[in-house]
Amino acid sequence: MNRILKNILIILTVGIFQNILAQETKVGKVTVVKYRDTNDKFTESTTDSTLAYLNKREHNILITNKKDTIRLKTNSRGIFEIPKRYFTYCSITVNPKTKDLREEFLFMEGLGIKDSLEFEIYDYHISNKIDSTKAPEFYTKFNTKKAEQDFYAGKKRYLLGNGIEYSNKFIEQLELKSKEYRFEIEYPEKMYGILEEHRILYRYNDRMKELLGIKNWW
């Protein structure tokens, strides 16, 4: 390696090291994202408007390492600052006391050299809560745990939703799968066709497909 290249590498290394030493804080950003983003209101995990609302709220932050703990709040854009004493090792818990939006991030080898870090929280639990609140009876009958109970009780089925027009191709493929994997095709009782019911139904069917061992749907 020639002398000029060596000098460049030394300068870069020293510069990075000095930059790390100079950093007093790192910036964290919390973002709530869809765990299922299908661009289809009947199957995506939550609506864009709900997601926008969740991403405007302040989030509680708990940062801890082997020596101490600090509690912080993000601003309305989800941004917070991580003090220097937590750079080498820490765990960062977002919304530690909010079950539906809680997520823990563990940094065993430190936070790295980046000035900012992204903390993504999936909307799985909060979308379940929204749907169970707006359609409680339907959720009780067709949540994912009920799908498991139905499967092990021999009640293997795929549920079609009211208020949706299914293509002939979809129904043909569904009937072929029902013969191959031995499940029934049914419509749920007392379905009003609201959005939350369709999302509940999608999760029920998705869990049933997993239990049936269907990996490739089409």
77-123 tens-digit pLDDT: 999 999 999 999 999 999 999 999 999 999 999 999 999 999 999 99
Residues 163 and 186 in one domain: yes
For the stretch 46-78, pLDDT in tens is 999 999 999 999 999 999 998 999 999 999 999
Shared domain for 105 and 151, answered yes or no, is: no
User: Would residue 68 count as lying in a domain?
Assistant: yes
The alpha carbons of the chain give a radius of gyration, in whole angstroms, of 24
pLDDT at 16: 44
Judge if 58 and 122 occupy the same domain. yes
pTM listed for this prediction? 0.78
pLDDT at 4: 42
Residue 22 has a pLDDT of 54
CB-count burial class (<10 Å; 0-12, 13-18, 19+) for 215: exposed
Total domain count, the chain: 2
State the DSSP H helix or E strand holding residue 22, giving kind and residue range, or none if neither. helix 3-22
CA distance 131 to 125: 10
Q: How far is CA 60 from the centre of its chain?
A: 18
Last residue of one domain, picked from the residues 103, 126, 149: 126
Residue 152 lies in a domain: yes
CA-to-CA dists, residue 142 to 45, 134, 163, 208, angstroms: 16, 14, 17, 11
User: Do 103 and 36 have their domain in common?
Assistant: yes
Q: Domain residues for 88?
A: 20-126
Domain boundary among 126, 160, 182: 126
Residue type, 151: F
Identify the DSSP state of 88: S
**Facing residues of 16 across strands?**
none
Structure tokens at 189: 């009782």
- Residue 29 CB: number of other CB atoms within 10 A? 15
Query: How many C-alpha atoms does 186 have within 13 Å on its Cβ side?
Result: 14
